[in-house]
Every structure is written in structure tokens, then in C-alpha cells.
Structure 1
Amino acid sequence: MKQLHLNGQAKDINVPDDMPLLWVLRDELGMTGTKFGCGMALCGACTVHVDNTPVRACVTPVSAAYGHAISTIEGMEGDRVGRLVQQAWVEQNVAQCGYCQAGQIMTAVTLLKATPAPTEKQIDEAMSGNICRCGTYPRIRAAIKLASSRLSGGAR
């Protein structure tokens, strides 16, 4: 039996060490907000945080997460920046089909924690690894700017 530290809680698991973190999260622990997209770390739908660093859970073996803090989209409610990003996402009507949105939000949270007032170029660079098949990129950028503004005490 091994243990993962997921969204602030210890979770016991009994899976092979080489099982992708994505399948452990979804199938073993019920964290279905994290999505399978491409299985090759190219689309970003499976993005989670490991020690506040975005990782692609589809290609990360669960053994790489042992002893580290893992956060999923379900854990963003307890995160100030995560809440601000999610609120901005709703207000900017970012989601269309919604499939990629958990990964998009996880990446945006990482960006805003590292760079609270990013330029458009920094936003585009940080988000470039996340594919939105619906093409909501202008709304994603607007939501990140709105969350950034709120982080710095701007519009509520």
C-alpha cells in the first residue's frame, strides 16, 4: 500500500508504480475533473499540479508523485488563485464544450502564482501547451487578465 497526498489529504492506493497518475486519479480516487485527451502530453487536458508545478498526468507514473503534494481541479476550491481563476472563467464564459478547461485552469493558476501580472505574451507562452478544440483562446486570455486584475486588488 502506498500513499498519495491529494488536495490536502492522504490517500492510500494499491496500484503498480508505473500506472499513469491520470488513471490513479480518475479510476482509483474518483477525481474525474482531470481528463484524458491525447495520452502523449501534447494537449494539456490532464494537467495537474505536483508540488505546484503543472505536470501531464497521462505520462507521469504514479511513483513520481509519491511524497509530493498533488492538486487537481477539484482541489482548486481551497486555493485563492484557483477560486479567482474559476470565477473569471465563468464570468468570461470561457467554456464551450468544457473538456479542456480543467487543464487550462490548472495551467493558468500556475502562471498567476509565478507571474501575478502577466503580459499577453507571457499568457500565450504559458498556455501554449493547452489545446482548446473549441478555440476559446481569446476568452481564456481575458479570464486570466481578469483574475490577474483581481489578484492585484483590481475590479471585483
Structure 2
Amino acid sequence: MSISVNGNAVQVPDDPRVSLLDLLRDGLHLHGTKKGCNQGACGACTVLVDGERMLSCLSLAVQFDGRSITTIEGLGEPGALHPLQQAFVEHDGFQCGYCTPGQICSAVAMVEEVRRGVPSHVTSDLNSNVIDFSHDEMRERMSGNLCRCGAYNGIIDAINETLKEAAE
């Protein structure tokens, strides 16, 4: 059994109890993905699984045989940040930075959800494939990622800029 992590084939641990988070941090030494609450409440461990956001602390590594995992280290390219990473820097979307990898991974997936027309709890028109991306819509979609420092204004500004640039 193997999974792809940031484009590299990785053997799934023999122990079926190993969480995806522990595989990433302890087995692969990818420390960008953070262990916050380890209960799925804070979003610090958010990674992308086949492009969709997933809480790695609540997921067992064996669940992902044949699938593709992208961590914060897998976004962008060497010497070139992903547009959302760059926007977080430019808009001070972080303070201590602990939640930032999960926030960015979640935002990357959220942007794709909006592009695909996936509704959220606050989407007003469920029959439309076009999401009116309001302030409330963004806050609802990012509500699973907490920031203890309260850098939400910078996070929202970074996401808004990236969405605006993607629409152009």
C-alpha cells in the first residue's frame, strides 16, 4: 500500500492505527502540518487529499492507499510561493504562524469549491452553479480553521485578493 505525498510515493505504515498527521510529522518529517487539538476542532492539521481539504488528525493513513496528499510543503514550487502563500505574507495573514499551514491548505481547497459551485451552509441560491462569494460565505467556509492570535482580517484579505486575481 502506498500514497503520494507532495508527489512522492510513500509506503503506508504497517500499523493501521497511525493517523495521517502522525505519518506526515513523525514518519516523513513534514512538520508544516501542525498538531493542534488532535480532535478535529481547530483545523491546524488540514491537508489536501486529491485536492479536497481533510483533517489529518482524524484520518488514518491506511485510508489513503492510492490517493494524493498535498501538505503546505507541497504547495508552490521551490523559490515560488503558491499565490495564497504569497497573499498571506503580503496581508499579514498570520501572527504566530501555527495555524497558517492549515489555513492556507483549507483556503486553497475552498477556492476550488467556489469555482466548482459547491454550496455551503449559508449559500443563498442552492440551484445556482455560481456562488455569490460574500463575506459571510467566506467566514462560513473557513470556520473550521481557528486562529488563536486573531489574524482573521489578514486571512480574509489574502483570500479575497487571491480569489479576485483568479477571476481575472
CA contact (8 A) 2:12 2:61 kept: no
Q: Which residue is 2:127 aligned to?
A: none
Q: Which runs of 4+ in 1 moved over 6 A?
A: none
Percent of residue pairs identical: 38
Cα-to-partner distance string for 1:23-61 (whole Å, 9 max, x where unaligned): 000111111100000010000000011111111111101
C-alpha separation in 1, matches of 2:143 and 2:51: 18
Q: Give the counterpart letter for 1:89 in structure 2.
A: F
RMSD: 1.5
C-alpha separation in 1, matches of 2:55 and 2:8: 21
Q: Which residue is 2:123 aligned to?
A: none
Secondary structure of 2:162's aligned partner: helix
> Following TM superposition, by how much is the alpha carbon of 1:14 offset from its aligned partner in structure 2, in angstroms?
3.4
Matches within 5 A, 1:69-108: 69-78=68-77, 83-108=82-107
Query: Alignment length, in residue pairs?
Result: 149
Structure 1 alignment gaps of length 5 or more: none
C-alpha separation in 2, matches of 1:137 and 1:51: 27
Secondary structure of 2:145's aligned partner: coil
Q: Structure 2-normalised TM-score? A: 0.84
Structure 2 alignment gaps of length 5 or more: 116-131
**Does 1:126 find its partner at 2:141?**
yes
Matches within 5 A, 1:27-106: 27-78=26-77, 83-106=82-105
> Following TM superposition, by how much is the alpha carbon of 1:118 offset from its aligned partner in structure 2, in angstroms?
2.7
